[in-house]
A and B are shown apart, each in its own frame.
Chain A
């Protein structure tokens, strides 16, 4: 099918629930529609502007809203999971990876999210406006969400007039062209960091370059009335060869996003157990990818782009029955109601789990045995695309660069599944560190970044910044000084949260600390990938690879040490044990682990006793049979 934008097109950007546009519904053909389309910019009123002329030296960047929106309902799509974080009506669902704001010198490592996951903080609590948030984190966002929030303040509105909104970048997922540039020197991420929101999508595509930046432009710069003399302002340069005679351009758009697109935002790198660097070639890809699946084979969505996240219980959270058949259980075992007819989709093998007592499937999520790095004595430092800017330029590749994310940490999830059982699953974990205020309910709210930068920054101005990107070491005296500065600045009950500990000032001005304060608890989110092959699952095999992988007194699963991460020296030496995150008592856990030493003896005794009893039964049974035979034979 060839899609050519023309006057015969359906109305642009149909209102939600109204007419379906050309591309909203598939006709059933599995062939990829060919996109030879006109490009449109946004005008100064926020409406559809004129068609892009590649020969215009002052051409505006094309707008995905008005270009892709010609045939695909942009309003419907922008309500999808990747774009709807700011919508308070969307169920938050299972906790996911937050955005991690960090500043090593100020001792900050703060999980932020617009989603109402327990343990994360909202950007506005940290005094980050949607625009500021987008500028910091938009590098690994596909647009929309906070990037499209219209501010209420006049000054912010004026800024947005210049920078534009960070629209949903359809190309970030659907452009199959190998030159789609998300993280390159002039690509999407760089444009976002320069506040070139309006230009970001265009800069990412293969036929447009963007120079200049909003932040460097003259304060009087108007993108809709640009001046050729403005050399520092953003400028879009189109590749004229990409346009045909009618001014249309071919875009290699695919329905199913290639995995490379997903990998830009969803890559992981796990460092070595001894803190050494690792490289991609040392770790295997997810087994599903190796088997030939792509991300979108499981993580599907319809027009609404409510992409399936793939966890048990998602069907209930979002009212999406398809999600029930696309979780681990759904694909491999049938849906969560036990309907085996739907199991085995996409060639998913149906596991037998020979020798695994059924209690494991009640207590453990599938990922506990099958996902993430093989548990070592200690969880390792993990890097993620969104936390560590992977795939962009000038990334600090040191192992201990902030933020510090540890994995795998086996945690009993706070939310029970549909059967009311909270399961243990591997998580990535981060220890929040931030300056806040303690309220009457013993809850901590972060102090806004501007205040912290000013007050705490003044106190810690002489703290050395580590070249490795690691924490700058803080002493308790420095923490006390900073808290005093915050108190003097009018902050009521200032506290410093770090590594599970809450520091505050007593009435006499001395520092006191509450270890394991609930407000300082670590934030963790479940790990689902990379899924290891069946042969590399926990508990498979015999000997050291069998039950004792988990059920032994030296098992990392229960007794691994989880580092407590903090810039404060007195806190950073602490550790926690994995079973503490599983809400399991030490004594019971240790006794059970130790009992597995006797398991072989148990088997021998039980089988031996059964053999003796069986022989006795057989012997006397035969004697009884003999007696009967004797009686019967006397007839003759």
Chain B
């Protein structure tokens, strides 16, 4: 069942991204090649030349690479071969996992502040709350920046999901859980990783799009 659900989920995600890409306008060229070079330069060349900024970007890149490796080594045997991860794929997966965890922790510390939800993110919510609760909530009529909200939501989803993702494996390494619970934590890791991967894909896509529109 996981194989089927995962394949469908990834397909839907990529189709959604493709639809969003073509339907929404974005600054910059639509040509994939030129767009790709643009994205590449955005990712590799720090726009603000400070040490912290460079380190943050480096951390992001390392996390991205780790995620790619983890996603491929984790999903390839399951989705393509229909079997559990094992052998060298598992060794690679287990090698990149702690690095990824570390990068996530650093990104959490460094990016959380800029990903706080502010009132301007969702004016329609402010207006709704004001109407419903009659509280004196400041509201304005600025247009809603959906992509930014989803981007931030994706960020917090990533952080939130990273906890069960990491802990489901770490806890199984201690003499705490019996076989039934081990099955459960493995299933938790599997399903969490699916949702996590989708959140990362969405977050990465939106990061690129928002960068291209200079929204972030």
Q: Which residues of A contact B (CB under 8 A)?
A: 351-359, 361, 542, 588, 591-592, 595, 599, 601-603, 605-610, 612-614, 616-617, 619-620, 623-624, 631-632, 634-635
Q: Does B38 contact A (CB under 8 A)?
A: no
Assess whether A354 is in contact with B94, with CB atoms less than 8 Å apart: no
User: In the complex, which residues 122-177 of chain B have their Cβ closer than 8 Å to any Cβ of chain A?
Assistant: 135-137, 156, 159-160, 162-163, 166-167, 169-170, 172-177
Assess whether A588 is in contact with B159, with CB atoms less than 8 Å apart: no
Assess whether B170 is in contact with A603, with CB atoms less than 8 Å apart: yes
Q: For A610, list chain B residues within 8 Å (CB).
A: 101, 105, 162-163, 166-167, 170
Question: Please, how many angstroms separate the alpha-carbon atoms of A614 and B108 in the complex?
Answer: 9
Assess whether A606 is in contact with B166, with CB atoms less than 8 Å apart: yes
Q: Does B183 contact A (CB under 8 A)?
A: yes
In the assembled complex, the CB of B23 is this many whole angstroms from the nearest CB of chain A, namely 32
Residue of A nearest to B180 (CB): A352
Residue of B nearest to A623 (CB): B116
Q: For A601, list chain B residues within 8 Å (CB).
A: 98
**Contacting A355 at CB < 8 Å: which of B84, B87, B162, B176?**
B176
Question: Please, how many angstroms separate the alpha-carbon atoms of A351 and B186 in the complex?
Answer: 19
Assess whether A612 is in contact with B167, with CB atoms less than 8 Å apart: no
Assess whether B97 is in contact with A602, with CB atoms less than 8 Å apart: yes
Assess whether B137 is in contact with A355, with CB atoms less than 8 Å apart: no
Assess whether B177 is in contact with A608, with CB atoms less than 8 Å apart: no
Most buried by A among B94, B95, B179: B179
Q: For A608, list chain B residues within 8 Å (CB).
A: 105
| Extra inter-chain contacts (13) besides given A609-B166, A613-B108, CB under 8 Å | A352-B179, A353-B179, A356-B179, A357-B172, A592-B91, A605-B101, A606-B97, A610-B105, A613-B104, A613-B163, A617-B156, A624-B117, A631-B137
Question: Please, how many angstroms separate the alpha-carbon atoms of A14 and B98 in the complex?
Answer: 72
**Contacting A357 at CB < 8 Å: which of B88, B95, B170, B182?**
B182
Closest 10 A/B residue pairs (Cβ): A352-B178, A355-B175, A609-B101, A609-B105, A612-B105, A605-B98, A616-B108, A606-B170, A354-B175, A613-B108
Question: Please, how many angstroms separate the alpha-carbon atoms of A361 and B178 in the complex?
Answer: 12
In the assembled complex, the CB of B182 is this many whole angstroms from the nearest CB of chain A, namely 5
Assess whether B159 is in contact with A632, with CB atoms less than 8 Å apart: no
Q: Does B15 contact A (CB under 8 A)?
A: no
Assess whether B160 is in contact with A617, with CB atoms less than 8 Å apart: yes
Question: Please, how many angstroms separate the alpha-carbon atoms of A132 and B158 in the complex?
Answer: 76
Assess whether A361 is in contact with B179, with CB atoms less than 8 Å apart: yes
Assess whether A603 is in contact with B173, with CB atoms less than 8 Å apart: yes
Q: Does B109 contact A (CB under 8 A)?
A: yes
Q: Does B9 contact A (CB under 8 A)?
A: no
Q: For B86, list chain A residues within 8 Å (CB).
A: 359
Assess whether A614 is in contact with B179, with CB atoms less than 8 Å apart: no
Q: For B135, list chain A residues within 8 Å (CB).
A: 631-632, 634-635
Interface residues of chain A: helix, strand, loop or mixed (majority): helix
In the assembled complex, the CB of B148 is this many whole angstroms from the nearest CB of chain A, namely 17
Residue of B nearest to A362 (CB): B84
Question: Please, how many angstroms separate the alpha-carbon atoms of A599 and B94 in the complex?
Answer: 10
Residue of A nearest to B179 (CB): A353
Assess whether B166 is in contact with A616, with CB atoms less than 8 Å apart: no
Q: Does B112 contact A (CB under 8 A)?
A: yes
Residue of A nearest to B170 (CB): A606
Q: For B94, list chain A residues within 8 Å (CB).
A: 595, 602
Question: Please, how many angstroms separate the alpha-carbon atoms of A609 and B103 in the complex?
Answer: 8
In the assembled complex, the CB of A549 is this many whole angstroms from the nearest CB of chain B, namely 14
Question: Please, how many angstroms separate the alpha-carbon atoms of A217 and B188 in the complex?
Answer: 78
Q: For B160, list chain A residues within 8 Å (CB).
A: 617
Question: Please, how many angstroms separate the alpha-carbon atoms of A354 and B176 in the complex?
Answer: 6
Assess whether A609 is in contact with B182, with CB atoms less than 8 Å apart: no
Q: For A354, list chain B residues within 8 Å (CB).
A: 175-178
In the assembled complex, the CB of A611 is this many whole angstroms from the nearest CB of chain B, namely 8
Q: For A361, list chain B residues within 8 Å (CB).
A: 179
Q: For A599, list chain B residues within 8 Å (CB).
A: 173
Q: Does B102 contact A (CB under 8 A)?
A: yes
User: In the complex, which residues 72-125 of chain B have their Cβ closer than 8 Å to any Cβ of chain A?
Assistant: 84, 86-88, 91, 94-95, 97-98, 101-102, 104-105, 108-109, 112, 116-117
In the assembled complex, the CB of A538 is this many whole angstroms from the nearest CB of chain B, namely 14
Q: What are 9 A-B pairs at a CB distance below 8 A?
A: A359-B84, A591-B91, A599-B173, A602-B170, A602-B173, A606-B167, A609-B102, A610-B166, A610-B170
Question: Please, how many angstroms separate the alpha-carbon atoms of A635 and B87 in the complex?
Answer: 61
Question: Please, how many angstroms separate the alpha-carbon atoms of A353 and B181 in the complex?
Answer: 10
Q: For B166, list chain A residues within 8 Å (CB).
A: 606, 609-610
Question: Please, how many angstroms separate the alpha-carbon atoms of A606 and B178 in the complex?
Answer: 21
In the assembled complex, the CB of B103 is this many whole angstroms from the nearest CB of chain A, namely 8
Question: Please, how many angstroms separate the alpha-carbon atoms of A602 and B90 in the complex?
Answer: 14
Q: For A613, list chain B residues within 8 Å (CB).
A: 104-105, 108, 159, 162-163
Q: Given that A610-B166, A617-B159 are known contacts, is A355 also in contact with B173, CB under 8 Å in the complex?
A: yes
Assess whether B136 is in contact with A602, with CB atoms less than 8 Å apart: no
**Contacting B177 at CB < 8 Å: which of A355, A607, A616, A635?**
A355
Assess whether A607 is in contact with B136, with CB atoms less than 8 Å apart: no
Q: For A616, list chain B residues within 8 Å (CB).
A: 108-109, 112, 159
Question: Please, how many angstroms separate the alpha-carbon atoms of A355 and B182 in the complex?
Answer: 8
In the assembled complex, the CB of B186 is this many whole angstroms from the nearest CB of chain A, namely 6
Q: For B173, list chain A residues within 8 Å (CB).
A: 355, 599, 602-603
Question: Please, how many angstroms separate the alpha-carbon atoms of A356 and B180 in the complex?
Answer: 11
Q: For A358, list chain B residues within 8 Å (CB).
A: 179, 182-183, 186
Q: For B102, list chain A residues within 8 Å (CB).
A: 605, 609
Assess whether A602 is in contact with B98, with CB atoms less than 8 Å apart: yes
Q: For B162, list chain A residues within 8 Å (CB).
A: 610, 613
Q: For B179, list chain A residues within 8 Å (CB).
A: 351-353, 356, 358, 361
Q: For A609, list chain B residues within 8 Å (CB).
A: 98, 101-102, 104-105, 166
Question: Please, how many angstroms separate the alpha-carbon atoms of A613 and B158 in the complex?
Answer: 10
Q: For B136, list chain A residues within 8 Å (CB).
A: 634-635
In the assembled complex, the CB of B211 is this many whole angstroms from the nearest CB of chain A, namely 23
Question: Please, how many angstroms separate the alpha-carbon atoms of A162 and B50 in the complex?
Answer: 105
Q: For B116, list chain A residues within 8 Å (CB).
A: 620, 623
Assess whether A606 is in contact with B159, with CB atoms less than 8 Å apart: no
Question: Please, how many angstroms separate the alpha-carbon atoms of A634 and B138 in the complex?
Answer: 12
Residue of B nearest to A358 (CB): B182
In the assembled complex, the CB of A626 is this many whole angstroms from the nearest CB of chain B, namely 12
Residue of A nearest to B183 (CB): A358
Question: Please, how many angstroms separate the alpha-carbon atoms of A429 and B186 in the complex?
Answer: 37
Q: Given that A595-B94, A614-B163 are known contacts, is A588 also in contact with B88, CB under 8 Å in the complex?
A: yes
Q: For B178, list chain A residues within 8 Å (CB).
A: 352-354
Residue of A nearest to B158 (CB): A613
